Amino acid sequence: DSSEGEGGRGRRTQARRGQMRSRPRPRSAPSPGRRAAARAGAAGATPWVSQRLGFGTMMLGGEAHDAAESRALLDRAVLEHGIRLLDTAEMYPVPQCAATAGASERVVGEWLARRRKTVARDALVLSTKVCGPSGEMAWIRGGPERVDARHIRQAVEGSLRRLRVDAIDIFHVHWPDRYVPMFGEDLYDPSRRFVQAGAGKGGGGGGGRQSALSATKAQLEEQMAALGVLMREGKVRRVGLSNETPWGLMHCRRLSLQRDGQREQHQHQEKEEEEEPGRFFPEVSYVQNAYNLLCRSFDAGLSECCLEEGVHLLAYSPLAMGLLTGKYRHDFDNQHHPGEDPGDRDRGREAYRLNVYKGRYAEAEQRYERTPAVEAAVRRYCALAAEAGMRPVELALRFVLSHPCLGPDPTLTDIENNMATAATREGERKGAGVGGCA
């Protein structure tokens, strides 16, 4: 978010001013270390300008990147390229397992501690998420059946410990605890919308069945109220949703308007009455959903909601888990790739993420199944990139960065241009590295 205020126009205006202040041009060419420190200092002066480019840490600390390699990638993203948004989650890295759960957050926390003299905490925006319902991840609080107030608090406190910070800048609900089509599903099935009241821990009493609408509203109200308490305590600064639908976003936005209406109605009452515990519904400022040239479901409804409501998109998988680099094409090895590391060809396509984790990564296989239609689309995008004189990864990143919901200024900044042009080998090999969360 770009401002502590409530108005969308104020956020957009201050974001433009913040971007102007954060990009001073040095009179001389200082050393790389001094450039990094200067960038961190400038960023710290305006920590809430819109973050249009981020570093996704989903693969750090796991099988793909050990702790040392993960720290090197963080150095490259923040110190070399000036990235300020670091996105993680309590369930990362993936593929998820009990042995590595929380490792991505721990790596980020250790890196922050090592670099505290170079990068000020306020120079970065830390984003993380509470795990949604999952019977498969029993190692996370026994496999939560729903995202209730208790699970949210435990998730926040656990993330704070692993990240070694006092506050989380953006805290998301990773996925809804109601039924919605996600992770590769396209069509909504109304027959799956009913839930059992009180089925999960912390659920409302009364037994029997509730309508989907009343049950879902109660769940969202509990989540937003719990996040409101954590915001009052200073542990969470901004709230976001992930893998959410237009209805879910707009209902949570209505809750924040209800909060504002309550403030107006009780403006003459005592402050403690106005801030009744559990009744503060924070404004949802971010939506983190998949968005790329192969997955544009965000544009079907959420795009309008976010644009009109002033909600920023944090787009994940801008390279469609590597498909849009072209490296999974059957004719890839017969192509000439300027600047390619020869080691890439020696390792072959078997070393790439979607092949290494085949059968262990359901989301990737559902959402980015390599059908003939997908392969044809990738070939066409690669040809289009060649016609424009750029690499496929650059085309993919520039497409995502052009979306107005990523921030108020559609003009690419110097950092974004450099990152899109660089097309780092890490992003092309395994999908980790800068650009993981645009």
Query: Are residues 239 and 284 in contact, defined by beta-carbon separation less than 8 angstroms?
Result: yes
Question: Is the model's pLDDT at 127 over the cut of 90?
Answer: yes
Q: Residue 283: which H helix or E strand, with range? A: none
For the ranges 66-75, 76-85, 260-269, the lowest mean pLDDT is seen at 260-269
The region, left, alpha or beta by phi > 0 then psi within -120 to 50, assigned to residue 339 is left
pLDDT band at 100 (very low <50, low <70, confident <90, very high): very high
What percent of the chain is modeled with pLDDT above 70? 67
- Residue, of 152 and 202, whose pLDDT is higher: 152
The answer to whether residue 240 scores a pLDDT higher than 90 is: yes
Rounded Cα distance between 380 and 371, Å, is 14
> Regarding predicted confidence, which is higher, 251 or 363?
251
pLDDT at 25: 36
Specify the higher pLDDT residue, 30 or 106.
Answer: 106
Encode pLDDT of 246-277 as tens digits. 999 999 999 998 765 454 444 444 454 444 45
Own/partner pairs, 216-220, CB within 8 angstroms, 24+ separation:
216/178, 216/251, 217/251, 219/146, 219/147, 219/148, 219/177, 219/178, 220/248, 220/251, 220/252, 220/255
User: In 10 A of CB 183, how many CB atoms?
Assistant: 14
pLDDT of 226 higher than 90? yes
Residue tagged 């359901």 (tokens): 362
Average pLDDT, the chain: 76
Mean pLDDT, residues 192-220 taken together: 60
Residue 367 corresponds to which tokens in the numbers above?
Answer: 């959402």
Range from 235-239, 259-263, 371-375 that averages highest in pLDDT: 235-239
Mean pLDDT is highest, among 151-155, 190-194, 276-280, for 151-155
Please report, as a single letter, which amino acid is at residue 425. Answer: R
For the stretch 313-336, pLDDT in tens is: 999 999 998 999 998 886 654 454
pLDDT of residue 413: 58
DSSP for residue 210: E
Q: Would you say residue 91 has pLDDT above 50?
A: yes
Question: Lowest-confidence range among 161-165, 177-181, 359-363, 399-403?
Answer: 359-363
Q: Looking at per-residue confidence, does 95 or 49 come out higher?
A: 95
Check whether 54 has a pLDDT greater than 70.
Answer: yes
Collapsing DSSP to helix, strand or coil, 392 comes out as helix
Q: Residue 434 gets which letter from DSSP?
A: E
Instruction: Grade residue 411 by pLDDT with cuts at 50, 70 and 90.
Output: low
3-state secondary structure of 241: strand
Q: What is the mean pLDDT of residues 401-416?
A: 69
Q: Residue 359 — pLDDT band, cuts 50, 70, 90?
A: confident
Query: What is residue 34's predicted lDDT score, i.e. its pLDDT?
Result: 36
Q: Which two tokens stand for residue 424?
A: 């780092």
Between the CA of residue 250 and those of 13, 141, 147, 219, what are the distances in Å? Answer: 24, 29, 19, 15
Torsion region of 320: left, alpha or beta (phi above 0 gives left; psi -120 to 50 gives alpha): left
- Report helix, strand and coil shares of the chain as percent, to nearest 5: 45, 10, 45
pLDDT at residue 414, as a whole number: 57
Interacting residues of 283 by C-beta distance below 8 A, sequence separation 6+? 6, 239, 253, 256
In this prediction, residue 355 carries a pLDDT of: 76
